[in-house]
Amino acid sequence: MSTTATAAPFRFFDSRVVRTRRLGPSTIRITFGGDSLAGFAAGGRDQRFKLFLPHPHQYSPVIPTDAGEDWFARWRAMDPAVRAVMRSYTVREQRRDPGELDVDFALHGDGGPASRWAARAVPGDPVVLLGPVEPDNGGVDFRPPPGTDWVLLTGDETALPAVAGILAWLPVTARARVWIEVPHAADVQDLPTRAEAEITWLVREDAHAETIVDAVRAAAFPPGAPYAWIAGEAGGVRALRRHLVGERGFDRRAVTFTGYWRRGVTEEDLLAEAVAGTAAADD
């Protein structure tokens, strides 16, 4: 159960909303389609991609797709009120004939342009995706090292699509301990897997709800070499990584951790921090 990292190229894909389906109080599944998706090659697991959305006053997203390698510099130089809103999402599932991608959006109100857009999306709405053209690509982070005996997965509602993708990908020989935090009991989903997986749901609306950090702290782990994949709100992810490496003795190279969002900060601002080199250091 090991794979090696590659940095395969991504390219832009024009796409449209085909249908939407409410999965629960906090999540909407948006299915994207279009002929160009024939070239989209998701690698499963936590396959991420960039989604470009129009502003409310626009019909379609504005991106310098003709700028080749320079697209990012050109996009950044544009007026933020005009250039497309760029956000990170996960491929929940890719299907062929017809080519379709499911993406599960956590709804957190109108404060975020992507959440706002998703809540109002209707069939035909145009979007642009920046995604992989090869299944083994640099947008897949779940990569257990050789010799892994069991995997620890944690995520909130934004990382639930990735956790679902990882569980669907794990082989029958894999052993997984999983903690997922969601806002409401009705957000709990069925997560098919061939692996021997023990899944714990933590529901925030419950009066005595535990956080993921508390629940993992209290857990007894299986024997053998672990590999941890943790994602969700950045503060919780950092605290959990500290616990695993500092108090549980996990090899830091066997912990893949990603802040999927940070409380009070937009993805636009996180990107600006990363570009300026001022992102919070992860010890």
Ligand X SMILES: Cc1cc2nc3c(=O)[nH]c(=O)nc-3n(C[C@H](O)[C@H](O)[C@H](O)COP(=O)(O)OP(=O)(O)OC[C@H]3O[C@@H](n4cnc5c(N)ncnc54)[C@H](O)[C@@H]3O)c2cc1C
- Residues found near ligand X in the complex (CB under 6 A): 48, 87-90, 104-106, 108, 111-115, 158, 161, 258, 260-267
Q: What is the closest distance, in whole angstroms, from the C-beta atom of residue 160 to ligand X in the complex?
A: 8
The smaller minimum CB distance to ligand X, of residues 82 and 265, is found at: 265
The smaller minimum CB distance to ligand X, of residues 50 and 177, is found at: 50
The smaller minimum CB distance to ligand X, of residues 3 and 266, is found at: 266
Q: What is the closest distance, in whole angstroms, from the C-beta atom of residue 158 to ligand X in the complex?
A: 3
How many angstroms separate the CA atoms of 25 and 17, rounded? 20
Three-state helix/strand/coil letters over the chain = CCCCCCCCCEEEEEEEEEEEEEEECCEEEEEEECHHHHHCCCCCCCCEEEEEECCCCCCCCCCCHHHHHHHHHHHHHCCCCCCCEEEEEECCEEECCCCEEEEEEECCCCCCHHHHHHHHCCCCCEEEEEEECCCCCCCCCCCCCCCCCEEEEEECCCCHHHHHHHHHHCCCCCEEEEEEEECCHHHCCCCCCCCEEEEEEEECCCCCCCCHHHHHHCCCCCCCCEEEEEEEEHHHHHHHHHHHHHHCCCCHHHEEEEEEEECCECHHHHHHHHHHCCCCCCC
Q: What is the closest distance, in whole angstroms, from the C-beta atom of residue 182 to ligand X in the complex?
A: 11
Longest dimension (CA), the chain: 55
The smaller minimum CB distance to ligand X, of residues 144 and 161, is found at: 161
Q: What is the closest distance, in whole angstroms, from the C-beta atom of residue 220 to ligand X in the complex?
A: 30
The smaller minimum CB distance to ligand X, of residues 158 and 193, is found at: 158
Q: What is the closest distance, in whole angstroms, from the C-beta atom of residue 224 to ligand X in the complex?
A: 28
The smaller minimum CB distance to ligand X, of residues 5 and 265, is found at: 265
How many angstroms separate the CA atoms of 13 and 271, rounded? 22
Q: What is the closest distance, in whole angstroms, from the C-beta atom of residue 247 to ligand X in the complex?
A: 26
How many angstroms separate the CA atoms of 220 and 216, rounded? 8
Q: What is the closest distance, in whole angstroms, from the C-beta atom of residue 141 to ligand X in the complex?
A: 8
The smaller minimum CB distance to ligand X, of residues 111 and 223, is found at: 111
The smaller minimum CB distance to ligand X, of residues 112 and 226, is found at: 112
How many angstroms separate the CA atoms of 155 and 237, rounded? 9
Report which residue's Cβ sits closest to ligand X.
112
Q: What is the closest distance, in whole angstroms, from the C-beta atom of residue 205 to ligand X in the complex?
A: 14
